[in-house]
Amino acid sequence: MRPVSLRWLILIALVVLLLPACGDSADEGAATTVATTTTAAPETTIPTVEVTAQTDCVVDSDGTWSGPVLPESGEPGSAQRDFVMTCTATSSDPRAAVEWVNTADCDLTANGEQFVADCRGTTTGTNDEGTWEGTFAGTSTWSTTNPAHLHVIEQTATGSGGYEGLTYVTTIEGSDFPWSLTGRIEPTP
């Protein structure tokens, strides 16, 4: 048996390296694909949490009144703008235990001895963990025979900071403070 020369070893190595590149004409231009597998991180579902709360409020500014005074309404005009009130909420959920600053515009109408203030505005609630910002709309009703104002307000606020990705939806009701709040904290749609 004859020893294999170095020249033959190099030639065989080149053939082995070049053989896959030659292929037949059907494989010319074919792309090589590499299969990869990715594993998605598990999704975290944020639960909706029912919330009850109470809020005590102080008037920071009566705002500006304009328009005709409605007889016996007890108000100095029929349109109130930039009414500002600060409310401190205690809540069943610490995320809703915040200090709210509310700015409202209200329009007053009369139906006989019944008065209705149709109000809407903006609200911001903060605590050490985050902030809620949103809007509200509601009514305040009273009459000459029942002068206590009954407030019913719907509010929706979106969270930021520690409350990013959450929405706080609540109904606020009451005459004298504290007012009652019922609602929910849920994932922002």
Read off the pLDDT band of 168 (50, 70, 90): very high
Residue in 136, 56, 79, 129 with CA at minimum distance from that of residue 102: 136
Structure tokens at 160: 């930021």
- Cα distances from 148 to residues 6, 23, 35, 81, 183, in angstroms, run 109, 92, 72, 21, 24
Residues with Cβ < 8 Å from 80, sequence gap 6 or more?
Answer: 62, 63, 64, 65, 104, 105, 106, 107, 108, 117
- Does the pLDDT at position 136 exceed 80? yes
pLDDT in tens, 11-27: 444 444 444 444 554 44
DSSP letters of 24-39?
A: -GGGTTPPP-------
Is 49-187 assigned to CATH 3.30.530?
Answer: no
pLDDT in tens, 99-131: 999 999 999 999 989 999 999 999 999 999 999
pLDDT in tens, 29-86: 445 555 555 666 666 788 999 999 999 999 999 999 999 999 889 999 999 999 999 9
Which percentage of the chain shows pLDDT scores above 90? 72
Environment class of 43 (CB within 10 Å of its CB; exposed 0-12, middle 13-18, buried 19+)? exposed
pLDDT given for residue 41 in this prediction:
60
